[in-house]
Structure formats: structure tokens, C-alpha cells
């Protein structure tokens, strides 16, 4: 199973290497561009990985970008990655951490990639370093760094395919390696749009078909998430979401929805906004209310230039909520170190 971001979506990039390799008999692919590691619980919370030999995780680029903008924390990245790796190894599936390089990242290491390396080491997961690949390729065949990239965040697809070959080689080297099961102190679950209201809107693109719960200015929805759980992610259609989503629970906070993707000339572009652990009220409920202006202080300060002006009023198409929960008692325990 591959869970990746924008590099994985390119039809002739590294995913094509997976699809065409004689060493891979079947491939399940989940992709979402411009999203960080919060996509791991969104796609994996209801998946049984016992049916897979390998789980390839490729979220580092957006973990880097969103971490640098302050929209996802080091602890959130670590929690997402550790949970996915634990879910894999406990099912007999080997995780592979795939680091796709950025033009700036080749020159300078960053904290999000360091976190990926640390988690891979903790779980004895495979680690494929695209930055190191580009540095080595440049030494063997001197050329300008930007000739490897089609923009600052994406390799040219033929170069990406070479990184895909490295990932396949890593899988082959780990095929007979036994990984010990581990415990983590948290779990994730999702609340889909169908549980948020009646008559959800069906959205379809080349990557997924999913229901959306539509809200307009002044609309609100109250959700029972359970007193021990936290809201940690909001999945939505980014091209049809603008205004402010105001959250009430253990505290009050507002989140600006419009982004540079708002009102692009496509009807559906899936995305997930990470949320700092947001606790419910004493009854275990949170309320989401949509408005054109913020009703409370910002949940996460909006970095300059990351939010484009949206249309008048407010609108949101919610695909679902992601919750962090206590781990079931049998799955708790100490994780590996080293």
C-alpha cells in the first residue's frame, strides 16, 4: 500500500515505477496533494494491513512545509508517523519511509525529515532518502541542482522513478526481515460526512469518491466525539471551502478556511487541515459553526501569503473529522528504541 502526496499523483513519477515493477504483484494507492502526515490516519484508520507486505509512507514534503509555517507541530508529525508504523508492524506489514526531496532540502536538512528518520529507526522501518539520491547523482554527473526538479517541491518524473527504484530495492532487502510488534499510546478514528448530517454531497475525482457534508454561512453542527478523544484533523474540499470555521468545545477557536486553492477551476480538490489537539466540552461534544468572519481567536496563526481572499460569505464541504483516541488496552506498551 502506498500513501503519498503530490509526487505520488504524477502518473509518470515514482508511482509508475511501482505499478510497472515485476517485483510488485499488486498495489493499493491513496494519494492527496498538499497534505501532511495527517492523511495517514484518514486513509488507514479503517484498513487492515494484514493483507499487505509493505506500507510506503511519502508525506515528508508537506510535513516540512506545514511545519515551517506552524500549521503542524513536531509532536503531531511524530504521532502520525509512529501510529502508522505501529499499525503496519503489528499487522505483519513492513513500513517504508520514503523521503521525496525538495530543491532547498537538498542543501539543508530540516526538522520534519529528521523526525521521519528517527521514527523509521525506532520501528526498524525502511528509509529511502531522496535528498541523498540527488546529492549523489549530482556528484556522479555534475549538473545544476534545479535540473533535477520541475519546481521547488517536485522532482522531474523520470528522476522520481529512480527514487521509486530505490524504494523497491529497499522492499526486496527487507522481505525476510521480521519486525517486532510494538505499542503506542494513542489511536485514530474518523467520523465521515455521512454522520454529520443528512443527504451528503458526493464528490468524485481521479483519486477518490467521497461524501461531503455541506455547510453555509450561519450553519452549525454538534458532534459527540467522546470525552477522552481530541479533534486533530478536518478533511474538506479545498476548492469549495472559505470563510471561518468556529470550534467550540473545551475552548473556543476559529480557523480560516480559504487557501490558495479556493475557487480553482475544478469542483473537487481534497485536503486535510491538521488541528492542534482540540478537546471536547465536558459532555464529549464539539460544535462547528461557519461564519464569514472569525468569532474567536485563531486556532493556528495564519502564515503570511498562505491564505488567499475567498468569495463573500462562507461555505465548506466537510469530508470528515479525524479524532485521536486512547489506544485499546491490548495495543499499549513500550515502543522500540534505537
CB-CB contact of 129 with 99 (8 Å) = yes
For residue 305, what pLDDT is reported? 56
Element (H, E) at 315: strand 315-326
Q: What is the mean pLDDT of residues 127-154?
A: 91
pLDDT given for residue 298 in this prediction? 93
- Tell me the C-alpha distance between 220 and 211, whole Å: 18
Model pLDDT, residue 338: 26
Averaged pLDDT, 181-187: 90
Query: Is the per-residue pLDDT at 7 higher than 50?
Result: yes
Mean of pLDDT values over 108-118: 88
Q: Does residue 307 register a pLDDT over 80?
A: no
C-alpha dist (Å) from residue 24 to 11, 17, 89: 17, 10, 19
Residue 132 makes CB contacts below 8 A (sequence gap 6+) with none
User: In this structure, how many other beta carbons lie within 10 angstroms of the beta carbon of residue 312?
Assistant: 10
pLDDT at position 265:
83
**Residue 140 has what pLDDT?**
81
Average of pLDDT values for 290-306? Answer: 82
Q: What DSSP character marks residue 48?
A: -
Question: How does residue 258 score in pLDDT terms, banded at 50, 70 and 90?
Answer: confident
Of 13-17, 240-244, 288-292, 307-311, the least confident: 307-311
| Residue (of 153, 277, 273, 148) closest to 225 by Cα position | 277
Give the pLDDT score at 330.
Answer: 46
Work out the percent of the chain whose per-residue pLDDT is above 90: 77
Asked if pLDDT for residue 120 goes beyond 60, the answer is yes
- Secondary structure element (H or E) that encloses residue 242, with its range: none
Whether the pLDDT of residue 333 is over 50: the answer is: no
pTM as predicted: 0.93
Mean of per-residue pLDDT scores for the chain: 91
What is the C-alpha separation between 52 and 291, in angstroms, rounded?
A: 43
- Confidence bin at 304 (pLDDT 50/70/90): low
- What pLDDT, on a 0 to 100 scale, did the predictor assign at position 280? 98
d(CA 234, CA 272): 5
Residues with Cβ within 8 Å of 260's Cβ and at least 6 positions away in sequence, in order, are: 306, 307, 308
pLDDT of residue 68: 86
| Confidence band of 63 (pLDDT split at 50, 70, 90) | very high
Residues whose CB is less than 8 angstroms from the CB of residue 158 and which lie 6 or more positions away in sequence, other chains included:
12
Amino acid at each position: 500500500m502506498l500513501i503519498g502526496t503530490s509526487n505520488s499523483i504524477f502518473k509518470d513519477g515514482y508511482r509508475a515505477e511501482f505499478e510497472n515493477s515485476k517485483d510488485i504483484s499488486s498495489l493499493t494507492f491513496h494519494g492527496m496533494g498538499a497534505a501532511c502526515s495527517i492523511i495517514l490516519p484518514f486513509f488507514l484508520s479503517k484498513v487492515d494491513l494484514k493483507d499487505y507486505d509493505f506500507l510506503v509512507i511519502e508525506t515528508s514534503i508537506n510535513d516540512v512545509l506545514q511545519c515551517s509555517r506552524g500549521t503542524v507541530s513536531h509532536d503531531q508529525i511524530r504521532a502520525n508517523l509512529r501510529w502508522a508504523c505501529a499499525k503496519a508492524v503489528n499487522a505483519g506489514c513492513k513500513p517504508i519511509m520514503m523521503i521525496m526531496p525538495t530543491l532547498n532540502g537538498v542543501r539543508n536538512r530540516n526538522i520534519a525529515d529528521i523526525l521521519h528518520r528517527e521514527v523509521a529507526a525506532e520501528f526498524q522501518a525502511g528509509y529511502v532518502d531522496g535528498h541523498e539520491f540527488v546529492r549523489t547523482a549530482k556528484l556522479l554527473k555534475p549538473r545544476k541542482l534545479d535540473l533535477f526538479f520541475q519546481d521547488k517541491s517536485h522532482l522531474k518524473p523520470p528522476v522520481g522513478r529512480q527514487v521509486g527504484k530505490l524504494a523497491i530495492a529497499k522492499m526486496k532487502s527487507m522481505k525476510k526481515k521480521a519486525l517486532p510488534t510494538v505499542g503506542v499510546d494513542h489511536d485514530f478514528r474518523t467520523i465521515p460526512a455521512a454522520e454529520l448530517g443528512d443527504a451528503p454531497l458526493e464528490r468524485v475525482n481521479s483519486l477518490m469518491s467521497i461524501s461531503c457534508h455541506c455547510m453555509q454561512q450561519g450553519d452549525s453542527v454538534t458532534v459527540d466525539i467522546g470525552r477522552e478523544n481530541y479533534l486533530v484533523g478536518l478533511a474538506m474540499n479545498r476548492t469549495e471551502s472559505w470563510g471561518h470555521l468556529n470550534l467550540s468545545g473545551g475552548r473556543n477557536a476559529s480557523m480560516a478556511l480559504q487557501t490558495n486553492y479556493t475557487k480553482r477551476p475544478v469542483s473537487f480538490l481534497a485536503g486535510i487541515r491538521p488541528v492542534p489537539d482540540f478537546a471536547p466540552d465536558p459532555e464529549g461534544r464539539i460544535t462547528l459553526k461557519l461564519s464569514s468572519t472569525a468569532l474567536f481567536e485563531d486556532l493556528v496563526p495564519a502564515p503570511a501569503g498562505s491564505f488567499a481572499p475567498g468569495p463573500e460569505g462562507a461555505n465548506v464541504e466537510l469530508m470528515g473529522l479525524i479524532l485521536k483516541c486512547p489506544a485499546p488496552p491490548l495495543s499499549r506498551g513500550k515502543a522500540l528504541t534505537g
